[in-house]
């Protein structure tokens, strides 16, 4: 089955620094990847959609300059949280979708970001 690897699983960084999270589709080519944010005991909120080779589309209220998304290849998308602050601490989850699969999404295992 489709597998999506997300790395790192958890990261602690100092306020003001940047953190990069990787999302890889291991056994399929992902034409579209999604990035979600999930606060404790809450639902997944879509942050942005990235299509390979084009700029990401951000949801309303998500700062594109703060959350940089790169989808440079069909198997890799990255989310960089720039100038991180404690309020950016959250669980970030990616999902990937292959062409021709009825648009079914496979989720990564998530990244717990803690900004201190």
Partner 1 sequence: QQQVKQSPQSLIVQKGGISIINCAYENTAFDYFPWYQQFPGKGPALLIAIRPDVSEKKEGRFTISFNKSAKQFSLHIMDSQPGDSATYFCAARNSGGSNYKLTFGKGTLLTVNP
Nearer to partner 1, 24 or 97 (CB): 97
| Smallest gap from residue 111 Cβ to partner 1 (A) | 9
DSSP summary character for residue 1: -
| Smallest gap from residue 44 Cβ to partner 1 (A) | 5
Q: Please say whether the beta carbons of 30 and 115 come within 8 A.
A: no
Residue 103 burial (10 A CB sphere; 0-12, 13-18, 19+): exposed
| Smallest gap from residue 70 Cβ to partner 1 (A) | 17
Nearer to partner 1, 28 or 110 (CB): 110
Nearer to partner 1, 56 or 115 (CB): 56
**Which residues, at least 6 apart from 55, have a Cβ–Cβ distance to it below 8 Å?**
none
Nearer to partner 1, 44 or 74 (CB): 44
Neighbours of 84 (CB within 10 A): 22
Interface residues toward partner 1, by CB under 8 A: 4, 6, 32, 34, 41-44, 46, 49, 51, 57, 91, 93, 95, 97, 102-110, 112
| Smallest gap from residue 16 Cβ to partner 1 (A) | 26
Pairwise CA distance, residues 112 & 103, whole Å: 27
**Tokens matching residue 51:** 């299509």
């Amino acid at each position: 089955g489709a597998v999506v690897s997300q790395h790192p699983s958890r990261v602690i960084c100092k306020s003001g620094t940047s953190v990069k999270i990787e999302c890889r589709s291991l056994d399929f080519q992902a034409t579209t990847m999604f990035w979600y944010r999930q606060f404790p005991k809450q639902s997944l909120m879509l942050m942005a959609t990235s299509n390979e080779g084009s700029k990401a589309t951000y949801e309303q209220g998500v700062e594109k300059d703060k959350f940089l998304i790169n989808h440079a290849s069909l198997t890799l998308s990255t989310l960089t949280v720039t100038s991180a602050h404690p309020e950016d601490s959250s669980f970030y989850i990616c999902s990937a979708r292959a062409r021709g699969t009825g648009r079914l999404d496979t989720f990564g295992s998530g990244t717990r970001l803690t900004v201190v």
